[in-house]
Amino acid sequence: MISLCGDSRPRLSVGAQPRGVFVTARISNIRTHNLCLLGFGNVNRTLVRLLADRADELRSRYGISYRITGIASRRLGWIANPNGMDPDAYVDEKSVERALLPAKSQESNHTLSNVQDWLSAAQADILFEATSLNVRTGQPAVDHIRAALRHGAHAITANKGPIVHAYRELRDLAAAQGKKFLFESTVMDGVPIFSLFDQLPAIHLQGFHGILNSTTNVILGEMEQGLTFDQALKKAQQLGVAETDATHDIDGWDAAVKTAALVTVLMDFPIRLNEDEIEREGIRDLTPQALRNAKRDGWPFKLVCRAHRAGDSVKASVKPEKVLASSPMGKISGTSSYVYFETDIFPGLAITEENPGLYATAYGMLADFVRAVRD
Amino acid sequence: MISLCGDSRPRLSVGAQPRGVFVTARISNIRTHNLCLLGFGNVNRTLVRLLADRADELRSRYGISYRITGIASRRLGWIANPNGMDPDAYVDEKSVERALLPAKSQESNHTLSNVQDWLSAAQADILFEATSLNVRTGQPAVDHIRAALRHGAHAITANKGPIVHAYRELRDLAAAQGKKFLFESTVMDGVPIFSLFDQLPAIHLQGFHGILNSTTNVILGEMEQGLTFDQALKKAQQLGVAETDATHDIDGWDAAVKTAALVTVLMDFPIRLNEDEIEREGIRDLTPQALRNAKRDGWPFKLVCRAHRAGDSVKASVKPEKVLASSPMGKISGTSSYVYFETDIFPGLAITEENPGLYATAYGMLADFVRAVRD
pLDDT of residue B17: 39
> Is pLDDT of A112 > 80?
no
∠ Cα A212 B332 A349 (to 5°): 40
> Is pLDDT of B12 > 50?
no
Q: What is the number of alpha carbons within 13 Å of residue B43 lying toward its C-beta?
A: 27
> Is pLDDT of B29 > 90?
no
Q: How far apart are CA A349 and CA A204, in angstroms?
A: 12
Q: Which residues in chain B are closer than 8 Å to A370, comparing Cβ atoms?
A: 201-202
Interface check A205 vs B, CB under 8 A? yes
pLDDT of residue A13: 42
Tell me the average pLDDT across B226-249.
Answer: 92
Contact B333, B323 (CB under 8 A): no
More confident position, A58 or B5? A58
> Is pLDDT of A12 > 70?
no
| DSSP E strand boundaries for chain A | 31-38, 64-73, 77-80, 109-110, 126-129, 154-157, 181-182, 205-211, 278-280, 301-310, 313-322, 337-343, 348-354
In our burial notation (b when 16+ CB lie closer than 10 A, e otherwise), range A265-288 reads bbbbbbbebeeebbebbbbeebeb
Contact B367 A201 (CB under 8 A): yes
pLDDT of residue A14: 39
Least confident of A252-266, B104-118, B123-137, B205-219: B104-118
Contact A360 B346 (CB under 8 A): yes
For the stretch A119-170, pLDDT in tens is 999 999 999 999 999 999 999 999 999 999 999 999 999 999 999 999 999 9
Q: What's the pLDDT band for B245 if we cut at 50, 70, 90? A: confident
pLDDT of residue B194: 98
Q: Which of A328, A344, A375 sits opposite B14 (nearest CB)?
A: A344
For the stretch B155-170, pLDDT in tens is 999 999 999 999 999 9
Tell me the average pLDDT across B313-317.
Answer: 97
Q: How far apart are CA A295 and CA A331, in angstroms?
A: 12
> Is pLDDT of A361 > 60?
yes
**Cα distance from B110 to chain A (closest Cα, Å)?**
35
Strands B205-211 and B301-310: antiparallel
Q: What's the pLDDT band for A108 if we cut at 50, 70, 90? A: low
Residues 6+ apart with CB under 8 A from B372: B126, B154, B156, B179, B180, B182
Contact A351 B349 (CB under 8 A): yes
Q: How far apart are CA B353 and CA B1, in angstroms?
A: 13
Q: How far apart are CA A193 and CA A198, in angstroms?
A: 9
Inter-axis angle of helices A42-62 and A360-374, nearest 10: 40
CB atoms within 10 A of CB B63: 17
pLDDT of residue A196: 96
Q: What's the pLDDT band for B101 if we cut at 50, 70, 90? A: low
**Cα distance from B169 to chain A (closest Cα, Å)?**
11
In our burial notation (b when 16+ CB lie closer than 10 A, e otherwise), range B70-86 reads bbbbeebebbbbeeebe
Interface check A359 vs B, CB under 8 A? yes
Interface check B349 vs A, CB under 8 A? yes
Computed over its alpha carbons, how large is the radius of gyration of chain A? Answer: 21
Q: Which of A61, A196, A359 sits opposite B345 (nearest CB)?
A: A359
Burial class (CB in 10 A: 0-12, 13-18, 19+), A333: middle
Spell out the SS3 assignment of chain B.
Answer: CCCCCCCCCCCCCCCCCCCCCCCCCCCCCCEEEEEEEECCCHHHHHHHHHHHHHHHHHHHHHCEEEEEEEEEECCCEEEECCCCCCHHHHCCHHHHHHHCCHHHCCCCEECCCCHHHHHHHCCCCEEEECCCCCCCCCCCHHHHHHHHHHHCCEEEECCCHHHHHHHHHHHHHHHHHCCCEECHHHCHHHCCHHHHHHCCCCCCEEEEEEECCHHHHHHHHHHHCCCCHHHHHHHHHHCCCCCCCCHHHHCCHHHHHHHHHHHHHHCCCCCCCCCCCEEECCCCCCCHHHHHHHHHCCCCEEEEEEEEEECCEEEEEEEEEECCCCCCHHHCCCCCEEEEEEECCCCEEEEEEECCCCCHHHHHHHHHHHHHHHC
Q: Report ipTM (2 d.p.).
A: 0.90
pLDDT of residue A89: 83
Tell me the average pLDDT across B122-130.
Answer: 97
Position A112, amino acid: L
Q: How far apart are CA B176 and CA B149, in angstroms?
A: 9
The pLDDT mean for chain A works out to: 89
Q: How far apart are CA A119 and CA A322, in angstroms?
A: 48
Q: How far apart are CA B47 and CA B26, in angstroms?
A: 26
For the stretch A66-107, pLDDT in tens is 999 999 998 888 999 999 998 888 877 677 767 665 544 566
B:61-120 residues touching chain A, CB 8 A cutoff: 61-62
Q: First vs last Cα of chain A: how many Å apart?
A: 28
Residues 6+ apart with CB under 8 A from B69: B34, B35, B36, B80, B81, B82, B83, B84, B85, B122, B123, B124
> Is pLDDT of A242 > 80?
yes
∠ Cα B98 B104 B108 (to 5°): 75
Reference B257, options B176, B373, B167; nearest CA is B167
Over pLDDT 90: what percentage of chain B?
Answer: 78
Tell me the average pLDDT across A193-197.
Answer: 97
> Is pLDDT of B7 > 60?
no
Least confident of A128-142, B17-31, B74-88, B223-237: B17-31
pLDDT of residue A23: 45
Contact B20 A201 (CB under 8 A): yes
> Of A203, A308, A314, A335, which to mutate for an interface test with B (greatest number of B Cβ within 10 Å)?
A203
B:220-279 residues touching chain A, CB 8 A cutoff: 265-269
pLDDT of residue A26: 55
Interface check B177 vs A, CB under 8 A? no
pLDDT of residue A24: 43
Q: Which residues in chain A are closer than 8 Å to B271, comparing Cβ atoms?
A: none
Q: How far apart are CA A180 and CA A195, in angstroms?
A: 13
CA distances from B246 to A31, B234, B272, B357 (A): 52, 10, 22, 21
> Of B24, B58, B203, B271, which to mutate for an interface test with A (greatest number of A Cβ within 10 Å)?
B203
Q: What's the pLDDT band for B87 if we cut at 50, 70, 90? A: confident
Reference B232, options B222, B243, B217; nearest CA is B222
Cα dihedral B155, B157, B161, B164 sign: positive
Q: What is the number of alpha carbons within 13 Å of residue A243 lying toward its C-beta?
A: 13
**Region for B297 from its dihedrals, namely left if φ exceeds 0, alpha if ψ lies in -120 to 50, beta otherwise:** alpha
The pTM (predicted TM-score) of the whole model is 0.91
**Region for A249 from its dihedrals, namely left if φ exceeds 0, alpha if ψ lies in -120 to 50, beta otherwise:** alpha
Give the chain B residue nearest A310 (alpha carbons): B16
Strands A348-354 and A337-343: antiparallel
In our burial notation (b when 16+ CB lie closer than 10 A, e otherwise), range A34-69 reads bbbbbbbebbbbbbbbbbebbeebbbebbbbebebb
- Total length of chain A: 375
Which helix H or strand E contains A204, and what residues bound it? none
Strands A77-80 and B348-354: unpaired
Q: How far apart are CA B157 and CA B365, in angstroms?
A: 7
Tell me the average pLDDT across B53-68.
Answer: 96
